[in-house]
Amino acid sequence: MILEISPEQKAFQQTVEQFATDRVRPQAAAIDEDAAFPRELIREAARLGLMGMTIAPPWGGGGRDYVSYALGIEALARGSAVVAVIAAVNNSLVGEPLEEFGSDSQKEQWLRRIAIGESIGSFALSEEHAGSDAANQQTVARLDERGYVISGRKVWVANAEAADLVVVFAATEPGLRGRGVSAFLVPIDAPGLSRVTTADSLGVRGLGCMDLEFHDVRVGTDALLGAAGDGFRIAMWALDGGRVAIAAQALGVGQAALDEALHHARTHEAFGQPIGNYQAIQWMLADMATELDAARMLTLKAADSRQRHARATLDASMAKLFASEAAHHAADKAMQILASKGYRRGSVVERLFRDVRATEIYQGTSEVQRMVIAEQILQ
Ligand SMILES: Cc1cc2nc3c(=O)[nH]c(=O)nc-3n(C[C@H](O)[C@H](O)[C@H](O)COP(=O)(O)OP(=O)(O)OC[C@H]3O[C@@H](n4cnc5c(N)ncnc54)[C@H](O)[C@@H]3O)c2cc1C
């Protein structure tokens, strides 16, 4: 068993790390402060092939394997959690299901633009009463002689502020729960679709989260992604990849917290010596490094599983659960090590502490990951 990334994967990781260090990290505080979607930075990321890392080159993507993708998302998140999620949503939740389930004409129309970052994609599954219980879709798509008419409200749609395309899930056979859900490709400027600004969020500010209201939005049957009734399966398939990406995102944030804590432990003195000389601080650092490394192993294993198998549900849930909790612990310990310097509004650790919390909530809460894991191992 050789636990080493290939020279090609290493080279890609270094390219993304360089970009994250030179371009992303210097802007992370401003993105958070202004809560503004970082359009120009995303254009730069797109020019490096980071908006469609795993999409095949004929469609304009980077053609990277999933381990490279996870390494890329981790590196981006070390610079800014927000930039990492924007890329992850575009890639895993929009580009990948389009590539896997889209017709040739849907791919012609959307996939190339999504993969090169010319268009931004978003994924609208959650509703007020369909978060953890995602099969409980109240948004309805009625079929008539001219196509489908979509009505309902989606909440917390990341990237929505800048999106051109939204993958929307709606009940085409209400009452059948997951078996009656279909997926649709809807242009964000479709008549009847409006974006609603919602309350500010604790962290990942700048992610462009908005609610989407559908008032009789008309689409043709050619807007269906996959077959009618396949929507829930498509969403769960996409989330296998998305959860690997969120594990990698959490890892990047946790690693950034460890970096800050290590620097402070080496340079800040108390009682006449660096605080890193004290065992109490050393043990916190040791726990952070150990948990993050374990999380990295699980994340890379899940990425490899996503690359090689039709479904990676168990590995993806384990990786997301463990990495998000490890990263949360790391941000918490970093706050303890920096103490008042970390607690100050505007400190790097304060931002990481807020950003990391979302990784235990979106793309399935930690409780949902535990439910998925239990279901899989009991099978
Ligand atoms: C920053 C951010 C970005 C997001 N981006 C998107 C996006 O792009 N697209 C999208 O579709 N959604 C998005 N979401 C929504 C996200 O996926 C949901 O918030 C998440 O799935 C949880 O749903 P909920 O908030 O409705 O909580 P609920 O489902 O109401 O859960 C409330 C609590 O109950 C627990 N719980 C629920 N059911 C059970 C059970 N059976 N057993 C035990 N505990 C249970 C949950 O774990 C949680 O602790 C985003 C959310 C956030 C915060």
**Residue of the nearest CA to atom 38 in ligand 1?**
132
What separation in Å is there between the alpha carbon of 82 and the centre of ligand 1?
18
Spatial contact of 135 and 169, defined as CB atoms under 8 Å apart: no
Place of tokens 């090689």: 308
The 8-class DSSP code of residue 194 comes to E
What separation in Å is there between the alpha carbon of 154 and the centre of ligand 1?
13
1-51 tens-digit pLDDT: 888 999 999 999 999 999 999 999 999 999 999 999 999 999 999 999 999
**Could you tell me the CATH superfamily of domain 122-231?**
Butyryl-CoA Dehydrogenase, subunit A, domain 2 (2.40.110.10)
Share of the chain above pLDDT 70, in %: 100
Structure tokens at 237: 């398939």
Pocket of ligand 1 (CB under 6 A): 89, 123-126, 131-132, 156-158, 201, 204, 207, 209, 358, 361-365, 367-368
pLDDT value, residue 285: 99
**Could you tell me the CATH superfamily of domain 233-378?**
Butyryl-CoA Dehydrogenase, subunit A, domain 3 (1.20.140.10)
Grade residue 301 by pLDDT with cuts at 50, 70 and 90: very high
pLDDT value, residue 105: 96
* DSSP string computed for 262-320: HHHHHH-EETTEEGGGSHHHHHHHHHHHHHHHHHHHHHHHHHHHHHHSS--HHHHHHHH
Over 60-87, what HEC string results? CCCCCCHHHHHHHHHHHHHHCHHHHHHH
Return the closest-CA partner of residue 337 out of 268, 255, 250, 252: 268
Question: Would the pTM of this model clear 0.75, i.e. be above it?
Answer: yes
**Residue of the nearest CA to atom 27 in ligand 1?**
131
Grade residue 176 by pLDDT with cuts at 50, 70 and 90: very high
| CA distance linking residue 16 with residue 12, whole number of Å | 6
53-104 tens-digit pLDDT: 999 999 999 999 999 999 999 999 999 999 999 999 999 999 999 999 999 9
Mutate to test the pocket of ligand 1, among 361, 366, 372 (most ligand atoms within 8 A of CB): 361
pLDDT value, residue 199: 82
Grade residue 309 by pLDDT with cuts at 50, 70 and 90: very high
pLDDT at 289 exceeding the cut of 90: yes
pLDDT value, residue 2: 84
pLDDT value, residue 193: 98
The mean pLDDT of 127-146, rounded to a whole number, is: 97
Could you tell me the fold of the domain covering 7-120?
A: Butyryl-Coa Dehydrogenase, subunit A; domain 1 (1.10.540)
Same fold, 7-120 and 122-231: no
Ligand 1 atom index nearest CA of 366 = 47
Share of the chain above pLDDT 90, in %: 98
| CA distance linking residue 306 with residue 243, whole number of Å | 10
pLDDT value, residue 324: 98
Ligand 1 atom index nearest CA of 134 = 21
Structural domain boundaries in the chain: 7-120, 122-231, 233-378
Ligand 1 atom index nearest CA of 159 = 8
pLDDT at 198 exceeding the cut of 90: no
Average pLDDT, the chain: 97
Grade residue 370 by pLDDT with cuts at 50, 70 and 90: very high
